[in-house]
Structure 1
């Protein structure tokens, strides 16, 4: 899975070399305190986009994350504050830069457990499991939010974030119009012949459940919350709204457009197929509220 899913929650992460990273002018971020969190809080590094989302939402961003340029591509909300240092590739953290930042604490997930001993040479490490647990992520997201709030001294802000997120999702469900009566399908195109379809143990399923929107896919899923199935097995028939999201291999959509099998699928014939805007699919509360807001917009306006 390492070549397909990274701890920041995106598929197919780019590979930045250490030389390219250091040569790109990013060493300027290593000024002591240059990315210090607001209010004099501890200097905390997050090696996971989802945990970083939560820190930002609580008003205390991390001093560094991996793959800073990819944040705009795969996360979008909340925006990454300026001055957050770049630790290079998600799967090959630049240890030299990490050491120079002198963090007080490193937040990560079990996904990078194999490298934990390296991180512990730099600073204490807090491992927060959220996704890939083989269970619905929602309880883990709430637990991680509260734990991060405690680490930042922002327990009250963490509780407010949880309450506001739950309220936003419930209100979005009430505004979702026809989607409450239209089962949805969420997929990634793996290649021309296979898709990843999201269901139980995914953030999408947790949000759909709280919005009162049915998910077509009730089959088995892996620990990350998706199944890899053949395109021919995708169509359940009937009234279905299909959403697909990035990344999409460049040759897939044109080829499917020429396929009689694809053109005869129920959601294609009815025109109920749409590209879903970018959301960090393995994110935390900010991702959950973004999913809900986008779905409510689509359900009420039939478009994004």
Structure 2
């Protein structure tokens, strides 16, 4: 039978107290980021976010998850306000390879950790999963693992729904104007969601960091069998001008009502963006097919 001395009991109590303190500290860490993919991930897992960049535009483009109003806005992602970042008093700054140039400057304010989501030749979905789990562990947020597992399960369920579809490929695009668009390839987050849902991306050409732009509207004619999925935001009256054009009305997808316009999504998002895209597809495709 083990013998417990007063010293061993005190040591065990001290270790337990220290562990609880570290967990509490991690859970309450004040975090900041320049990257929208990390921002939506942090908000989704309930992290204590104190600063992010271009928040007004983020709220319009990403829409969800909703960023709390008390989060400090650091201005443009490419030229952030480091003084505002300092005033936000972050304990930890999370960054990606997109904004690695800012690491030395931000490192003067708080420790910086990098979690890339988009890297050439690598799966953004897998990188997003890895980043979510790593951040969740770092911040002691169990919601991170739950989000990863719940989304994987949901995509599997949705895949069963799409097996009853028409089997046509899907062209996910974002308008740059009435005459050109950006198309998302198989290595984009949207493309990965299509694959996980058992759908085929109609775009098989080259991409640059997951998308290719600008593409002339006339190139849509080379993919007559595809569903066209329009992903906002679109600039100004681009959509209205496009849909009024004779070329647009002549496209097979338009004539056969194979066009789906969904809600706005962060085009270079993480798992929250993937989840939002999947939800829109599930909600939109049955509606379009049955009208």
TM category, shorter: 0.7 to 0.9
Q: Which runs of 4+ in 1 moved over 6 A?
A: none
Note the C-alpha offset of 1:297: 0.9
Matches within 5 A, 1:125-274: 125-154=112-141, 156-176=142-162, 179=165, 181-274=167-260
In structure 2, relative to structure 1, the CA distance for the partners of 1:153 and 1:266 (3 Å cut) is same
In the alignment, what sits opposite 1:33?
A: none
Does 1:59 find its partner at 2:40?
Answer: no
In structure 2, relative to structure 1, the CA distance for the partners of 1:271 and 1:178 (3 Å cut) is farther
Q: Distance in 1 between matches of 2:101 and 2:257?
A: 45
Does 1:302 find its partner at 2:269?
Answer: no
* 3-state DSSP of counterpart to 2:221: coil
In structure 2, relative to structure 1, the CA distance for the partners of 1:270 and 1:45 (3 Å cut) is same
Note the C-alpha offset of 1:243: 1.3
Does 1:49 find its partner at 2:36?
Answer: yes
Q: Distance in 2 between matches of 1:279 and 1:254?
A: 20
Work out which of the residue numbers 259, 268, 276 in structure 1 matches 2:262: 276
Structure with more helix by fraction: 2
* 3-state DSSP of counterpart to 1:196: strand
User: What CA deviation, in whole Å up to 9, does each residue of 1:219-249 have, x standing for no partner?
Assistant: 1111233353221112234432111122323
Instruction: Give the paired residue count.
Output: 266
Q: Distance in 1 between matches of 2:27 and 2:130?
A: 24
**Alignment gaps of 5+ in structure 1:** 1-36
Indicate conservation of the 8 Å contact 2:260/2:288, yes or no. Answer: no
Indicate conservation of the 8 Å contact 1:169/1:293, yes or no. Answer: no
Q: Distance in 2 between matches of 1:207 and 1:150?
A: 25
Indicate conservation of the 8 Å contact 1:135/1:223, yes or no. Answer: no
Structure whose CA Rg is larger: 2
Indicate conservation of the 8 Å contact 1:180/1:214, yes or no. Answer: no
Does 1:84 find its partner at 2:71?
Answer: yes
**Alignment gaps of 5+ in structure 2:** 1-23
* 3-state DSSP of counterpart to 2:222: coil
With structure 2 as the length reference, what TM-score do the two structures score? 0.83
With structure 1 as the length reference, what TM-score do the two structures score? 0.79
Does 1:68 find its partner at 2:55?
Answer: yes
Farther off after superposition, 95-104 or 230-239? 230-239
